[in-house]
Structure 1
Amino acid sequence: MKDNFSVSPAQYAKYRPDYPQAIFDFLYPLLNEKGIAWDCGTGNGQLAQELSKDFEQVEATDISEQQLKYAFQAGNIRYSAQPAEQTTFADDSFDLITVAQAVHWFDVDKFNAEVKRVGKPNSIIAIIGYGLNNITPEIDDIIREFYKNIIGEYWDGENKHIENKYQQIPFPYRELETPEINNIKLWKFEHLIGYLNTWSAVQHFIDKNNYNPVSQIEDDLRAAWGSVEVRRVIFPIIFRVGRVK
């Protein structure tokens, strides 16, 4: 599993979007019980924090100890630095296993084997992600040009799985039909800039060229944003759910 997010964990915690309630409203009725959940690739614990409101215990893992230092805290969340593909958890431990915006970094075949080992019979696995956000056509055009032509060559190959909505990720479970979900946030312009700076390709560009490519589009984005203080930012959710064993 790659670690692209230890460089700026504070920015990641501040600017990455959390996840909408509709995800949990769909998942929870599928469960036999809400005892223990595993949030794998937890990052700063955004999803783990939501799970902790309903589960007795949440195990949240990530390979980035820097990310875990900035994780949301709750009494029933236990964070640990572990790879997705090999954990210390006992067989048949979890009622729910979640991966949010991270499965494309895993050795997926080994991760799936681990899921089958640690998931309880009839447990649920959910892999969640989000694509490029939508704000206004003018703003969206600038961001997509940036994504494709300015930093396009700096994306890791794994990013194609986000573009393909995880449809090419091996998913050897009894897959369930999921609803279409949009994550709608209200952001100021500064939050959008902060979010763009969390992109892994931006960091790769900086490492290679010694300047931040976001600066190339910031003025155009600001002009397109206009005088409106807050805009709706819509993230289409990628959502695959399956029953384990």
Structure 2
Amino acid sequence: MSAGGYTSLFDDQAAAYSQFRPTYPQDLYDLVLEYAQLPQQQVCLDIATGQGQAAVELAKRFERVVAIEPNAKQLQHAVPAENITYREGSAEASGMPDASVDLVASAQACHWFELEPFWEEVRRILLPGGAFAVWGYDLVQVPGNAAATQVLWRMENVTLGPYWSDRRKLVSGHYRDCLPKDGMFADVKHVELGSPLSLTMQQIVGWVSTWSSYSTYKRHHPDGPDPLPAFQQELATALIGAQEDSSIKLNFPIFIILGKKLAK
């Protein structure tokens, strides 16, 4: 599948996306801005915003956020804010003017981009002295519970393993193969950030239902069986005594690519 063909993978889960996709910790945004040391925080571009999970937080830190997303169904569920402008747009052709953006951000989407034109676009639209932050996350783990972690691993890699796009390997590699070419930007860093996350069992199952591999599985097996009930039962068995609404402590592994455009 080409990067341009990925958007339809999220049509079926658009309504569930904002309900079940995890939000990112405040530590992540603090880390980005501490690294960037921006001379001003006027305009942020959030690329592949989905339903605005990151855009809403970025809007608390910037005067204006432009949030672009290629999937119109996702934008129908976007979280509104006075200083966020949502519109359709792509990572490779954002529609922003040259040298007009203080920070370019993108959350859990870089693996879908055509990387060379994407990085060229980032360099074109950043102001001198501007920065970018591109991040993603890998499969959560259940600290102290190897059985529950194994249930999650099997769902991702065995049950739904054949239904992931080839681009999933970029996520498994924590975006190390997404780095821009040497010399395009200054002070490029790859940072790993482990973050605690608490979800209920219902939320974990809902999250799995938003995976692109689950959507592809359902399209290949329109008459079933649905793997989610069996997954939920296995997870409940591993999490002895946990109810649907019990809070489960997880480790949320986040990885970030950071870089800057040299000031003239």
Establish whether TM, by shorter chain, passes 0.5: yes
1:188 aligns with 2:193: no
Please state whether the residue corresponding to 1:55 is helix, strand or coil.
coil
Change (3 A) 1:58 1:10: same
Match of 2:19 in 1: 14
Asked if 1:39 is matched to 2:46, the reply is yes
Residue number in structure 2 paired with 1:124: 131
Please tell me the residue identity of whatever aligns with 1:223: T
Gap change, CA 1:114 and 1:176, over 3 Å in 2: closer
Alpha-carbon distance between aligned partners in 1 of 2:194 and 2:85, rounded to the nearest angstrom: 29
Kindly indicate whether the alpha-carbon contact (under 8 Å) linking 1:44 and 1:71 is maintained by their aligned counterparts in 2.
yes
Work out whether 1:230 is the aligned partner of 2:230: no
Structure 2 unaligned regions, length at least 5: none
The match for 2:60 is 53
Structure 2 residue 158 is matched with structure 1 residue 149? yes
- Corresponding position: 1:138 with 2:147: yes
- In the superposition, the TM-score normalised over structure 2's length comes to 0.89
Distance 1:152 1:179 in 2: 26
Amino acid at match of 1:26: L
Which residue is 2:77 aligned to? 70
Q: Give yes or no for the alignment of 1:213 onto 2:227.
A: yes
Tell me the equivalent position of 1:241. 258
Determine if contact 2:176/2:190 at 8 Å carries over to the other structure. Answer: no
Q: Which amino acid aligns with 2:134?
A: I
In the alignment, is residue 83 of structure 1 matched against residue 100 of structure 2? Answer: no
In structure 1, what residue type is equivalent to 2:205? Answer: I
Report the alpha carbon displacement of residue 182 of structure 1 after superposing the two structures with TM.
2.1
1:179 Cα deviation from its structure 2 partner:
5.0
Following the alignment from structure 1 to structure 2, what is the Cα–Cα distance between the partners of residues 64 and 177?
30
Q: Alpha-carbon deviation of 1:82?
A: 0.7
Post-superposition offset of 1:137: 1.2
Deviation larger for 1-10 or 190-199: 1-10
**In 2: Cα distance, 1:150 partner to 1:175 partner:** 40
Identity %: 28
Match of 2:114 in 1: 107
**Residue of structure 1 in register with 2:216 after alignment:** 204
Shift of 1:214: 2.0
Unaligned runs of 5+ in 1: none
Q: Take 1:75 and 1:34, find their aligned partners in 2: how far apart are those partners?
A: 16
Aligned residues: 245
SS at match of 2:133: strand
Contact 2:13/2:209 (CA < 8 Å) preserved in 1? no
Alpha-carbon distance in structure 2 between the residues aligned to 1:225 and 1:10: 28
2:14 aligned with 1:5: no
Deviates more, 1:225-234 or 1:194-203: 225-234
Q: Distance in 1 between matches of 2:187 and 2:108?
A: 19
Distance 1:32 1:137 in 2: 46
Q: Is the 8 A contact 1:134 1:235 kept in 2?
A: yes
Secondary structure at 1:90 match in 2: coil
For 1:244 and 1:153, locate their aligned partners in 2 and report how far apart those are by CA, in whole Å.
Answer: 39
Equivalent pair of 1:186/1:233 in contact (CA under 8 Å) = yes
